[in-house]
Amino acid sequence: MPLSDERMWALLGGASAAVATILVRRALRSGWRSWSEEDPPDNPADPEVGWKGALAWAGATGMAVAMGRVLARRGAASAWRKLRGRKPPF
């Protein structure tokens, strides 16, 4: 039974966003280590993590992951358009 366009798009869009999230988080952790010379906080809500580090990590993570997901989904939409000749069923 073939998948509908909606289901195929959900799989492609979701998979591309998930891969982007993993890659962005790895890059962000590496960048944090280079910038601060220590590991980023595992849990920014932990009271033992200082406010500056917690807020910086939360902000950087949120922004970078959101941008990576947008870029991945736009790339997936572009690939869909090239392969299918029409925009994906958002």
Residue 13 forms part of a structural domain:
yes
Residue 46 forms part of a structural domain:
yes
Residue 90 forms part of a structural domain:
no
Between helices 5-36 and 51-84, what is the axis angle to 10°?
A: 150
* Pair 17, 69: CB distance under 8 Å: yes
Measured CA to CA, the distance from residue 86 to residue 41 in angstroms comes to: 43
Residue 42 forms part of a structural domain:
yes
Q: Quote the domain boundaries for residue 52.
A: 5-84
Number of domains in the chain: 1
Sites in the chain below the pLDDT cut of 70: 1
